[in-house]
Amino acid sequence: MTSTETPTAGRIGDSPLRPDGTLKVTGEFAYSSDLWHDDMCWGVTLRSPHPHARIHGIDISAALALPGVYAVLTHEDVPGLNRVGLEHLDQPALAEDVVRYQGEAVALVAADHPETARRAAKRIVVDYEVLPALTDPRHALDDDAPHVHPDGNLVRAMKIRRGDPEPTAPVVVALDFEVGMQDQAFLGPESGLAVPDGEGGLDLYVATQWLHVDQQQVCRVLDLTPDRARLHLAGVGGAFGGREDLSIHVHACLLAMHTGKPVKMSYSRDESFFGHVHRHPAWLRYEFGASDTGELIYAKADILFDGGAYASSTTAVVGNGGTLGLGPYNIPSVSVDARGVYTNNPPCGAMRGFGCVQAAFAHEALMDELADRVGVDRVEIRARNGMREGDRNITGQLIDSAAPVAELIEIVRDLPLPADPVGERDIRDLPGGAANSTHGEGVVRGIGYAVTYKNVGFSEGFDDYSTARVRLEMTAGEPVATVQTAAAEVGQGLITVEQQICRTELGVDRVVVSPKDTSVGSGGSTSASRQTYVTGGAVKAACEAVRASVLARAAAQLGARNLRLDGDKIIAENGEVLASLADVLGDDAVDETVEWHHRPTEEIDPETGQGNAHVQYAFSAHRAVVDVDVELGLVKVVALDTAQDVGRAINPDAVVGQIHGGSAQGMGLALMEEIVVTDGKVRNPSFTDYLIPTILDMPPMQVKVLEYADPHAPYGVRGVGEPPTISSGPAVAAAIRAATGKALRRVPVRPEHITL
Amino acid sequence: MDFLAPSTWAEALAAKAERPDALPVAGGTDVMVEMNFDHRRPGALLDLTRVSDLREWALVDGRVRLGAGVTYARIIDELGATLPGLAMAARTVGSPQIRNRGTVGGNLGAASPAGDSHPALLAADAVVEISSAARGTRLVPVADFYTGVKRNALEPDELIAAILIAPPAGPQQFCKIGTRNAMVIAVSAFGFALHTDRRSVGTGIGSAAPTPRRATDAAAFLAGELEAGGLWESRGALPEGLAVEFGRKVRDAAAPIDDVRGTAAYRLHTLSVMARRAATWAWDEHRRAA
């Protein structure tokens, strides 16, 4: 996406309009599914109908015989290493002798029309021997469990031990909790276009979250060098973690290289549910020990994540679940075990909130239970136990910037509550809405609170960096900055942030953002709430390098020192304008590329789990108010209010937008969002039966944004995107518990959990 | 696949007679979904959207004759007061876009047990007007129209022309259960009509049996108790115990299954609650109208 928009304002702290905003609202934005190339053909994927089966043979002859079919490919046609994976190379790009989940890719077809390709795929005969499927992760590590992969079913086990190994406490509360499988439910299905260059290479246009890691994976499978596999970001219709793993990438490239033709692939909605990883379902067993007045003394947690058939980012999700899984509380003695296992269920990986979402339901439910047991207010108990700057968390890491847990939870408590209902109500304001299931009968109001913290950026020693190239030149008498990064814009507003930083650092109004592609160094992943921090940091650093270069040039030309640059003027220490930028630059451009790394993190100790695992922590709190029809189990969220520390709001409107969206996604998990899997098979791969909140389900929000700058981060920013997804769901669940008096130890809370 | 696009009702009937394998399509909100998922691949599609007669409604012999192609949006806008139960059901259909396309004729053609209009049609004693080129018109009470899961009483050469519904003498209600507050397929649904003129009760159950069905015993029970208690004359309050018992009997008329949208036990429970509430609301409205 290129933008040359030149608003009068638009520096840091302003909220300039995003270049894609109007286009998206009016339906004119070009998403990856809109890609088109003359002479292109269409690719489709044949997927396994079985959660676990041996493949004895694949007969493609009938498919190849269909007129209009250009190619039918299997694993035998993979030129490079037939393995993909973000953290473990454990997944074949195309299945070999075994399929390990329903939906695993087995063969590819390219044809002149998508319908021809689909029909051809149906003619492929795969000789499957159905094998017993391991579908209950709670038995994945049993001695007699079948092995999903040759090395067994454990992806990662981590432990954290701190303080007294055998703690006791006067008050002990415990619970088991279960979290269902949530989907990212992005609206733009996986899609892309691979265009061969006729010289042994290709260009892939694709909706993704990290171009460079995709490029590595494409090159490995296709046996190409990076200069021959150039990736370009196509219009992304939402990501939320679901585009970190590959979807069409390798498949479209294989077909394009094989046919010599441009190949487009675009999943249907139902295929999309099989074409990306989901949020890990989790089983959590927690125990908190506390004083008679509710001060936490110890915590024990056992967390099991179902990784499904392939590892994806399970390793890092376990890391997050373990290191962050007790919430933003000071707890002297801690014992945490977190495990991720293989099963024959759908593969699970990254999704907004990444390992913290599941844990937050458990620790927040338990904090409420503790509060009730010791007779302390539910807000007060969080404020009393909440972290503050200068505390150490359960891995022993110093919290060295703001940690306003008490302030956040007290802010949401003190926000105005919705009025109590009086008189006859519009049914659309009641649980069930226009479905007319109540006129007020059975409706009980409940209020719930939750608070969370989340790491920002990649953790546990990962060298997490971004690259920015900034060029400054005179164009038609005006200074113009061009910023190039490969950081993916997936809807979060990075284009605008990059422009704002350039305007602020260089004082220019006109900032062009180059298309996102692999012709510049890696921008890292658009995930972990990290791009404004890391790519923002890289753009800032590149601007500083450009400025230094311009001023060095000016100093040499003018024989002056201590100059500064403001817009198109070179200004002396005393404020005198010494020269224009045009004078200094002439027809030259100053062009600087910077690779910027955030401060390092470290691997945690394998026995104690101690270490500086994370680069930054972000905190948020929610208060939910719900009306529950306790007879029918239907819920209407009346209010969902939040407070969050964002360090520094680069673009305040975009910050609030992230908080709105994240809150809705967290609420969705509490109330309705679940991929239902039975015996390894997905039962609801559609938006008819995988329900996400509509505008009638999502209440208006009061959002209170705090800006306690993090001294270690560029401009003091703190990642924004994920915390609201973590604290909103537990607040909604708590509010439903308050209204119903039910324990509700599983989300999504289904109506029958309330009524039966 | 052939695409047949008649512009008159006579042409449509002729086309259906000639191509009994043709699948009629009106708003397409069911048919196109099935085709997109490749669940159905009919030999021909019979597009009825050009047949203007189907989009008309009129009062005929004291009944509303609702053309099979009248959309839910128009039922809400134009017939909200005349056919309150059906209009309430129409308001729960999908999204505004779906309500702008979907039709009662299409709902009957698909005959899904989850179709939103069925409980309201059953409670209101609607009659389906069916036509064929060979045999002309026949009228089928809606309770006899549903013959099995997604099956109906149409012969291969027949089309649904209209639905005949008497404007109600008494209050009507429609309730639906879904796990979100809009745009949801019914987990269960219930239609209720108080036929004050004949001192009887109409019921309709949705999404809780292989077909939409009535709760006949429950309806007879409630009407009988109202009679026995002299409540039709007195318009006294509906005893809570009576409403509860009616709910129980409605529940007993259902035969739901467990599926991804809800459990059988939950469906039964919701029917008892919806029936109790709907009967109470309708009776209270009847009392207020006095």
10 Å CB burial of residue B153 (0-12, 13-18, 19+) is middle
How far is Cα B112 from Cα B208, in angstroms, rounded to an integer? 11
Q: Would the pLDDT of B269 be above 70?
A: yes
Q: A474: which strand partners? A: A479
10 Å CB burial of residue B205 (0-12, 13-18, 19+) is buried
Residues of chain A with pLDDT under 70: 1-8
Q: How many CB atoms lie within 10 A of CB A470?
A: 30
Shortest Cα distance, chain A CAs vs residue B36, angstroms: 9
| pLDDT on residue A7 | 44
Cα-flanking dihedrals φ and ψ of residue A733, to 5°? -60, -40
How far is Cα A86 from Cα A321, in angstroms, rounded to an integer? 18
Q: Which long-range contacts (CB under 8 A, 24 or more apart) does A197-202 make?
A: A198/A260, A200/A224, A200/A228, A201/A227, A201/A228, A201/A229, A201/A230, A202/A228, A202/A229, A202/A230, A202/A253, A202/A256, A202/A257
Q: How many CA atoms lie within 13 A of A88 on its CB side?
A: 19
Element (H, E) at A274: helix A269-275
Angle at A180 between CA B265 and CA A343, to 5 degrees: 115
Residue B113: is the preceding peptide bond cis (ω within 30°)?
A: no
In order of their start, the domains of chain A are 21-26+465-597 (3.30.365.10), 32-131+194-236+243-270 (3.90.1170.50), 278-459+603-755 (3.30.365.10)
Residue A103 has which token pair? 């939906």
Closest C-alpha among A610, A645, A674, A80 to residue A386: A645
Put simply, whether B257 touches A (Cβ < 8 Å) is no
Question: From the list B38, B92, B179, which residue is nearest A751 (CB)?
Answer: B179
Per-residue pLDDT band at B37 (split at 50, 70, 90): confident
- What's the mean pLDDT in B105-131? 98
In chain B, whose CA is at the least distance from the CA of A678?
A: B260
In chain B, whose CA is at the least distance from the CA of A689?
A: B261
A381 contacts: CB under 8 Å, gap ≥ 6: A294, A367, A370, A371, A374
Q: How many CB atoms lie within 10 A of CB A603?
A: 13
Does residue B197 fall inside a structural domain? yes
| pLDDT on residue B77 | 98
Per-residue pLDDT band at B129 (split at 50, 70, 90): very high
Query: B182, A752: Cβ pair inside 8 Å?
Result: no
- What's the mean pLDDT in B127-140? 98
First to last CA, chain B: 58
Indicate the number of domains in chain B: 2
Among the candidates B27, B46, B65, a domain finishes at: B46
Put simply, whether B39 touches A (Cβ < 8 Å) is no
| pLDDT on residue A165 | 97
- What's the mean pLDDT in B185-214? 98
Closest C-alpha among A107, A102, A91, A92 to residue A131: A102
β-pairing verdict for A634-645 and A703-706? parallel
> Helix A531-558 crosses helix A494-506 at what angle (to 10 degrees)?
30
| Cβ atoms of residues A670 and B180 within 8 Å | no
Query: B266, A633: Cβ pair inside 8 Å?
Result: yes
A 248-277 → B contacts, CB under 8 A: 268, 270
- What's the mean pLDDT in B12-30? 97
- What's the mean pLDDT in B43-55? 97
Does residue B119 fall inside a structural domain? no
Query: B184, A636: Cβ pair inside 8 Å?
Result: no
In chain B, whose CA is at the least distance from the CA of A427?
A: B181
> Helix B240-253 crosses helix B264-288 at what angle (to 10 degrees)?
140
Put simply, whether B184 touches A (Cβ < 8 Å) is yes
Question: From the list B173, B181, B273, which residue is nearest A631 (CB)?
Answer: B273
Contacts of B279 in chain A (CB under 8 A): none
Tens digit of pLDDT for each residue in A712-737? Answer: 999 999 999 999 999 999 999 999 99
| pLDDT on residue A8 | 46
Q: Model ipTM?
A: 0.97
Domain that holds residue B275: 172-288
| pLDDT on residue B123 | 98
A 691-710 → B contacts, CB under 8 A: 691, 693-697
Give chain B's mean pLDDT. 97
Put simply, whether B88 touches A (Cβ < 8 Å) is yes
β-pairing verdict for A282-290 and A171-179? antiparallel
Across the A/B interface, how many CB contacts are shorter than 8 Å? 98
How far is Cα B239 from Cα B218, in angstroms, rounded to an integer? 15
How far is Cα A250 from Cα A45, in angstroms, rounded to an integer? 11
Does residue B8 fall inside a structural domain? yes
Put simply, whether A425 touches B (Cβ < 8 Å) is no
Place of tokens 């303080």: A163
Does residue B254 fall inside a structural domain? yes
Tens digit of pLDDT for each residue in B244-262? Answer: 999 999 999 999 999 999 9
- What's the mean pLDDT in B117-129? 98
Angle at B90 between CA A685 and CA B238, to 5 degrees: 115
Query: A689, B185: Cβ pair inside 8 Å?
Result: yes
How far is Cα A391 from Cα A403, in angstroms, rounded to an integer? 9
Query: A632, B263: Cβ pair inside 8 Å?
Result: no
Closest C-alpha among A102, A275, A317, A282 to residue A179: A282
Tens digit of pLDDT for each residue in B69-104? Answer: 999 999 999 999 999 999 999 999 999 999 999 999
10 Å CB burial of residue A599 (0-12, 13-18, 19+) is exposed
How far is Cα A500 from Cα B120, in angstroms, rounded to an integer? 57
